[in-house]
Structure 1
C-alpha cells in the first residue's frame, strides 16, 4: 500500500482532497478535444496504370506528356476541371484533371500539381494512367487507347465495421436517393447529410446532368451490393464517384477545403480551444478557492484544539 506523505509545515497532515484539487485543476485546463478532421485532400486513394508502356525512341511521347501535364497544372489554379490534347497524330495524348467541387482554386492547384510526379512514380511511361487523390485526380490516354465504359468500376473500398440491424441501411438508402437527385441538379457535385449519414458525389466535368444522375445511380447500386451494411464506403466508376460515412453520434461539423474556409475553420477551432481553456481555468480557479477555504477551515479547527 502506498502511504500519503505528511506535510508538517502547517502543523497538520495534508488531506488527500488537497492532492485531488491539484489534479482536477490541471484536468480543467485541458482543451476540449475536437472532432477528427477529414482526410488530407492530397492523400492517395488509388492508381490505375495501363500494362503497356509507350515506345518512345524519339522522345515525342515524353514531350507531349510533359506539355500535357504543364497545361493541366497551370489550368488547375483557374478551374476545377480541364481537358485537353497535347501532341499530334499518333503521338497525341489526351488528358484531364478534376478537383473535388468544394476545393478552392489554390487547393485545387496544390492538389493537381502533385499528380504529374506521382503519375510518373507510380505508373511510369504507360499508354494510359489515372491517379486519384482524395481531392483531385488526373487521367491521360495515348491516341488509340481502348476506351472503357463510363459505368465501369475502377476502385472500391468499404469500411470494416458493419452496423446491420440498426436501421442504418434504411437511412443510408434514403440519403442515397437524395444524393442521386442532388448531384444532377447540382451539375455534377453534391454533398448531403441525412440522419447521421454523410454523402458526397461527383461526376467528371464533361458529363451531362442526366448521364451524371445515371452514373451516380449505378455507383449507389454498387455500394449497396459491394459494401452492404458497412459503416462507410467509396465507389469510383470511370465517370463518377460517391462516398458515404455513417456517424452514430452525429455528423461532425466539416470544414471546407478552401483556403478562406480553412482559415475561418481554424479560427473557430482556436476560439474553441481558448474558450475551453478559459472555462476550464475558471472552473479550476473556483475549485481551488473551495480547496483553500476547506484548508482554512481545517487550520481553524486545528488552532481551536
Structure 2
C-alpha cells in the first residue's frame, strides 16, 4: 500500500503508560485558512465546549455549529477502555489545545492517547472513512523471533478486528495472547462509531497494513487515523491493567 505524503511518521521508544497530557499528534489543514469576516472561528468556539460536554457519557459524540457555508462539523471519541473521568479530562484538553495549535484552520484534528477530536467546515465527514493524514509510532527495538511474532500478531489482530466490527462492541476490540512462556502480546483496535461495519473493517485493514511497512519486527506499534486506531505492545497498555506491577482501573 502506498501512503500519502501527508502521513507523518514518528519513531519513539514506548516504555511507559502515560496519561493523556500531551497530544500524540495534530493536523492543521493549511489549505483551509479561515478568512477575515468569516463566522467559522466563532462557530468552532461554540462547537468545542459542546463536544467536551457531550462526549464523556458515551465516549463518543458528533455535533455541528453554524449555518450554510459557515457551518462547522465536529467529532470526538475516547478510547473505549478508559474511564468517564479520564475521557472527560482528555476531551477537555483536546478542545483547548486544538484551537490553540490550529488557530486559523477550518479543518483540524488532534490525537491523544485516550481520545481524538476533529472539526471541519467544508463538508460533513461523519460516516466517511478517513486514513490521511495518519500518525505512526514504532518501538525502536526488534523482536527476537520475527517469524513466530508475525504469526501470533497476525492472528491476534484478525481476532480483534473481527470483534471491533460487531455492533455490540461499538468499534472496539482488545485483548492479549501468549507469545512465549515469558512474554505476552497485547493489542487494541478501535473505529470511530460513525462508521458502518464495512467501513470500520476497511479502515482497520489499511491501518494494520502499516505493520509490514513501518513497524516490521518491532516490539510495539501504533497507527492513528481519523477513523480508526490500531496498536500492539509487549506490555499491558489498556484497561484494566493486569500485570503484577500495575493496578486494575476502577
TM-score over 0.5 (shorter chain) = yes
SS at match of 1:109: helix
* Offset of residue 56 of structure 1: 3.1
- Counterpart in the other structure of 1:175: 156
Q: Does 1:56 align with 2:36?
A: yes
Q: Residues 86 and 92 of structure 1 are in contact (CA less than 8 Å); yes or no, is this contact kept in structure 2? A: yes
- The 1:51–1:109 alpha-carbon spacing in structure 2 relative to 1, beyond 3 Å, is same
Contact 2:81-2:239 within 8 A present in 1 as well: no
Cα pair distance change 1:216/1:124, threshold 3 Å: same
Aligned equivalents of 1:48, 1:164: Cα separation in 2: 35
Aligned match of 2:76:
97
Q: Which residue of 2 aligns with 1:46?
A: 25
* Residue 185 of structure 2 corresponds to residue 202 of structure 1: no
| 2:143 alignment counterpart | 163
In structure 2, the CA distance between the partners of 1:153 and 1:122, relative to structure 1 (3 Å rule), is closer
* Greater share of residues in strand: 2
- Tell me if 1:244 matches 2:232: yes
Is 1:204–1:240's contact at 8 Å kept on the other side of the alignment? yes
TM-fit CA distance, 1:86: 0.3
List 4+ stretches of structure 1 deviating above 4 A.
Answer: 144-149, 251-255
Match of residue 53, structure 2, among 53, 74, 91: 74
Secondary structure at 1:62's aligned position in 2?
A: helix
- For the Cα contact (< 8 Å) 1:42–1:135, is it kept in 2? no
Q: Normalising to structure 1: TM-score of the pair?
A: 0.66
Q: Is the 8 A contact 1:187 1:209 kept in 2?
A: no
Whether contact under 8 Å (1:76, 1:82) holds in the other structure is yes
Note closer, same or farther for the CA distance 1:198–1:106 as it changes in structure 2 (3 Å cut): same
Please, what TM-score do these two structures have when normalized by structure 2? 0.79
**Runs of at least 5 residues in structure 2 that lack an aligned partner in the other structure:** 1-14, 179-183, 242-246
Count of residues paired in the alignment: 221
Quote the residue 1:193 is aligned against. Answer: 176
Deviation of residue 110 (structure 1)? Answer: 1.0
**Residues 141 and 253 of structure 1: CA distance in aligned 2, closer, same or farther (over 3 Å):** closer
Q: Secondary structure of the equivalent of 2:20? A: coil
Aligned 8 A contact 2:28 2:108 in 1? yes
**1:199-225 residue CA offsets vs partner (Å, 9 max, x unmatched):** 010101101223212221221122222
- Does the 8 Å contact 1:127/1:145 carry over to 2? no
Unaligned 5+ residue runs, structure 1? Answer: 1-35, 258-263, 268-305
Q: Does residue 128 in structure 1 map to residue 107 in structure 2?
A: yes
CA distance in 1, matches of 2:125, 2:237: 43
CA contact (8 A) 1:76 1:105 kept: no
Q: Report which of the two structures shows the higher radius of gyration computed on alpha carbons.
A: 1
In 1, distance between residues paired with 2:213 and 2:91? 32
Deviations 1:63-121 (A, max 9, x none): 21111012101112322111111000111100111111012222211110111221122
Is the 8 Å Cα contact of residues 186 and 236 (structure 2) preserved in structure 1?
A: no
Q: Does 2:200 align with 1:219? A: no
